[in-house]
Structure 1
Amino acid sequence: MGWKGTVRSIGAAVRAAERDAKRRQRELEKRQKQYERMQELEQAAYEVEVYENHIEIIQSLHKECSVPIQWKELSIQKEPIQPEKTDTYEHNARHKADNYKPGFIDRLFQREEKVRQKLKTNIEVAINQDTLKYNENFSKWKKDFEEWEKTTSLAKSLLNGHSQAKLEVIEDLDPFSEISNLGSSLEISIGDTGIVEATINVHGKEIIPNEIKGLLQSGKLSVKKMPQGKFNELYQDYVCSSILRVANELFSILPDDLVIITAVDELLNTQTGHLEESPILSACISRSTLQSLNLEAIDPSDSMTNFVHNMSFKKTKGFDIVSRVKPERFVNI
């Protein structure tokens, strides 16, 4: 099976293992169709559930990831064996013809010659069946061989660090759909070092709510302005969770040991007075370090201390502009 087939075959397992927050999100989306028919208190409870689920989603992106592709195994998988033409059908037909012995009924109704002619015709039909079977097997083998050739070639290119192969796999699989559904966008580049660099535009003001929704004792909806400190903390968790998710997805589809992820968003340039797209977090994520973390239990913001990263963040102010981590720093490490 080729690498694309492998990915498709494990898709069901990935969906089955998705985190509770995602399953809850789908349930809430189904209930949205019934929103207009709900009573006031039901609508209030529903709005709070949607709000709380969204908060959980943006803080737990790192908890879910695609199943890793085993490129080393794919690079050494055995070549499909070319089929040989067999005479199984012909052999069986000839055996029947050679061992035919007319019975009483055939002799009585003088059907012996007719039966023999039929058995002879069956041999010709059987020869055609053998040919058709061989042609089917050959067509399947040819398709499997071409897939094997492409897969092993791609796997070897990836294991040898070829940048074009990496970009091809990332483009084909596009594992970042959940992040893009939240409104973030992603760009991938690979420089002379061969290290994959991902830039994620997090669109924080669009993703992080500026209100807090809850229920009063009466069951009615309560909507309050979110304190700036709370907003900034959620924003930081969302950005860090996104960074970890992108890194994990890249490690799942590539054999690389290091990736550099940079989150950018619009910040105020105090010199010009204009909002400008600027880096707010840049991190070099190591596969071994990421795999050593318990992603179910970590605080995504606190986890950045495990990696080389640039981040300037204050609860009262939020993010400030930082410089990107340079890939040249990690060559020959």
Structure 2
Amino acid sequence: MGWKGTVRSVGAAIRAADRDAKRRQRELEKERKYYEKMELLEQAEYEVRAFENYIEIIQSIHKECSDKIDWHRIAGSESPEVPQKATHNETKASYLASQYKPGLFDRLLGRTERRRAKINEAIPLAKEEDEKEYQSRLEEWKEQVADWEESKGMADRLLNGDKDSKIQVIRELNPFTEISNIGSSIFFQIHPNSIVEAEINVHGTDIVPSKKKTLLQSGKLSMKNMPKGEFYEIYQDYVCSCALRIANELFAILPENMVVVTAVDELLNAKTGHLEELPILSVAIPRKSLESLNMQMVDPSDSMDNFIHEMSFKKTTGFNPVDRVNITILSNEYQRR
């Protein structure tokens, strides 16, 4: 199992305590089975609840994170202790043999020696049982040592800045399942001075609904074009929420000090007149700054002011292309510290 066994709790990257929006989503999915049997007004109410739940989910991606791996603790851990051979079965059998006293019927029937021999025969069998138990513990110990050696080796390499090991951890643990399921793809690059860069293609127009579902006073379903201002605000929260989640996940699985997240999406390039994949948010997130935030209460868009970032956004027109945060400058600043 190796280091992946040591951090198996991270495996799915999702904590057992899901946020409320995800729990409600599962409840709605169960209700979906009975959708065809619902009355029209019930269907309308369901459609609105499902719509509102989806909006909440894409604006609160940052509220979840995998459990943190303490690579420093793993690197400083000691090898599992060698198991000691126990003799409790043999000791018990020997004690019973020493305590044997023939009873009246044993003496009358002349079976004292047979009973004594049978009791004594249990001693070597008990000794064999002790040996089996010891060999079993020894095999478990060997596996634990192999797991410890692999885990400690990985921790040492990560703390020494080994690029390949960092990429391996990201690929093996893959804590970005939720974001990928929504439809965003992520790419990574490892930089010196404990900086990792992530680029996410947010596919905003595919993720944020263009139609808004509401209930009329009559109880019927109304579906109209999403107001531009509301659409862009949801879009901005979604993008910033993804950036926070990516940084938090990377800090959870890697011993990095800084994560730079750049979100790209398809925008019109005014210079060429063509749609191109262009940066719409680029943010440098230090570990300490992120850890100081209350992820359950923070507004993802407003939280960008806590970090060095590039973002050009207007409620009326949405995102404009921006330059990426300069990784070289960040790296040099950390090197001077």
1:328 positional shift: 1.7
Gaps of 5+ in 1: none
Quick one: which amino acid aligns to residue 263 of structure 1?
A: A
Alignment of 1:241-256 (within 5 A): 241-256=241-256
Q: In the TM superposition, what whole-angstrom CA distance separates every residue of 1:19-54 from its partner, at most 9, and x where no partner exists? A: 211111111111111111111100100110011111
2:239 aligned partner: 239
Distance 2:117 2:42 in 1: 81
Q: In the TM superposition, what whole-angstrom CA distance separates every residue of 1:109-167 from its partner, at most 9, and x where no partner exists? A: 11122112212321221121111011111011111111111122222222222222222
Distance 1:127 1:197 in 2: 60
Distance 1:13 1:239 in 2: 20
Alignment of 1:261-300 (within 5 A): 261-300=261-300
Contact 1:90 1:126 in 2 (8 A): yes
Q: Which deviates more from structure 2 when the two are superposed, residues 189-198 or residues 16-25?
A: 189-198
Matched, 1:105 2:105: yes
Q: In the TM superposition, what whole-angstrom CA distance separates every residue of 1:67-124 from its partner, at most 9, and x where no partner exists? A: 2122222222232111122332223222333343322211111112211221232122
Contact 1:67 1:252 in 2 (8 A): yes
Matched, 1:135 2:135: yes
Q: TM-score, normalised by structure 2?
A: 0.92
RMSD of aligned residue pairs (Cα, Å): 2.2
Contact 1:260 1:284 in 2 (8 A): yes
Quick one: which amino acid aligns to residue 30 of structure 1?
A: K
Contact 1:193 1:328 in 2 (8 A): no
Alignment of 1:1-333 (within 5 A): 4-5=4-5, 7-9=7-9, 15-331=15-331, 332=335, 333=337
Distance 2:261 2:232 in 1: 20
Quick one: which amino acid aligns to residue 214 of structure 1?
A: T
Contact 2:211 2:224 in 1 (8 A): yes
Distance 2:6 2:90 in 1: 38
Distance 2:185 2:315 in 1: 25
Distance 1:175 1:12 in 2: 7
Distance 1:330 1:269 in 2: 27
Gaps of 5+ in 2: none
Contact 1:208 1:235 in 2 (8 A): yes
Distance 1:298 1:192 in 2: 30
Quick one: which amino acid aligns to residue 269 of structure 2?
A: N
State the SS of the aligned residue for 1:299.
coil
Distance 2:86 2:236 in 1: 66
- Alignment length (residue pairs): 333
Q: TM-score, normalised by structure 1?
A: 0.93
